[in-house]
Amino acid sequence: MTDAFHLPDLVSADWLQQHLHHPGLKLLDASWYLPGSDRDPVAEWRAARLPGARYFDFDQRLAAPGPLPHMLPEPAQFAAEVARLGISNDDAVVVYDGSGIFSSPRAWWMFKAMGHNGVAVLDGGLPAWRAAGGELESGPVSAPQPGRYLAHRVEAWYADQRQVVASLTQPGHRVVDARSPARFLGQAPEPRPGVRRGRMPGALNLPYDRVLEGGHLRNQAELRECFAALGPAQTEWVFSCGSGVTACVLALAATLAQQSKVRVYDGSWAEWGANPKLPLVVG
């Protein structure tokens, strides 16, 4: 089904309105908010969602068990949960969130990392859909017909702690942190207990909101400028953040800017900052 759409990595609300009722298209609300935001993404999804959209819960159901938040699950767990949402391997998937572009790239990256290339992010998310006059539905949701899904991890999209350590000093590699400058420099506290302030030695800072404008991704030329300021086009990028969510915003932006080698450090600062054996720099 994905070939019929020529599905890019980013689609507009206008594009989605034109293809909304195609039988091979599946919509997922991947909204997630930082702890303490006082927003309930599931309640918001039930109250107002794109037609037929299911809730993609990467914080609980689609997360690996363990102490770190919403880590990428094993392929079998991912496949079972995605099939439960009514998705099969040949479906085209569009993900969106309630902020514009914040958490939906995390779902996009997870699909990519599990071998599903037919996935796109809705540029501007739910706010852009509302602004375009797109139809919404609310109320109870019936269980979909389960899909048939197989997943496999694509290591080229993924970086673990060992790979990050190597990338910090390896020529041609850049580790880029998507956190705010205050958190990157250790001037602001981390939201998770037990996580140290600071940054990885050798890491660069590109706050995720620098690649956005008004809840949308910046245009390709502007995105290329963002990454050109950090390294040449042949750079092998590793993106990190607080817990692996906004790092995926940078991964999407880099992909749109035609950077060829893009990885996400899944554990991000939640893992690095909690391990006293790993080096950090403050200031």
In a domain, 283, yes or no: no
In a domain, 74, yes or no: yes
227 touches 255 (CB < 8 A): no
Q: Are residues 232 and 188 in the same domain?
A: yes
> Which ranges of the chain have pLDDT less than 70?
1-5
DSSP the chain: -HHHHT--SEE-HHHHHHHTT-TTEEEEE-----TTS---HHHHHHHSBSTTPEE--TTTTTS-SSSSTTPPPPHHHHHHHHHHTT--TT-EEEEE-SSSSSSHHHHHHHHHHTT---EEEETTHHHHHHHTT---B-S--PPPPP--------GGGEE-HHHHHHHTTSTTEEEEE-S-HHHHTT-S--SSTTPPSSB-TT-EE--GGGGEETTEEPPHHHHHHHHHTTS-TT-EEEEE-SSSSHHHHHHHHHHHTT-SEEEEESSHHHHHTT-TTS--B--
Q: Are residues 54 and 182 in the same domain?
A: no
In a domain, 94, yes or no: yes
Where is the domain boundary, 118, 153, 188? 153
Where is the domain boundary, 108, 136, 153? 153
- The count of domains in the chain is 2
63 touches 123 (CB < 8 A): no
Catalytic residue positions, numbered: 241
What is the domain range of residue 17? 2-153
Q: Are residues 149 and 166 in the same domain?
A: no
pLDDT reported for residue 37: 87
Q: Are residues 147 and 203 in the same domain?
A: no
10 touches 251 (CB < 8 A): no
Q: Tell me the CB-side half-sphere exposure of residue 41, using CA atoms within 13 A.
A: 25
In a domain, 148, yes or no: yes
pLDDT digits (tens, 9 = 90+) for 111-131: 999 999 999 999 999 999 999
Where is the domain boundary, 153, 176, 194? 153
In a domain, 62, yes or no: yes
* CATH number of the domain encompassing residue 146: 3.40.250.10
Q: Are residues 207 and 222 in the same domain?
A: yes
Residue whose structure tokens are 């919404």: 136
Q: Are residues 115 and 103 in the same domain?
A: yes
Spatial separation of the C-alpha atoms in residues 272 and 270, rounded to whole Å: 6
Q: Report the Cα–Cα distance between both ends of the chain, in Å, rounded.
A: 50
pLDDT reported for residue 5: 65
pLDDT reported for residue 195: 97
In a domain, 165, yes or no: yes
pLDDT reported for residue 52: 96
Q: Are residues 18 and 148 in the same domain?
A: yes
pLDDT reported for residue 3: 45
Q: Are residues 54 and 140 in the same domain?
A: yes
Q: Are residues 166 and 142 in the same domain?
A: no
Q: Are residues 134 and 196 in the same domain?
A: no
In a domain, 194, yes or no: yes
In a domain, 280, yes or no: no
Q: Are residues 122 and 178 in the same domain?
A: no
Radius of gyration from C-alpha coordinates of the chain: 18
Q: Are residues 148 and 181 in the same domain?
A: no
pLDDT reported for residue 260: 84
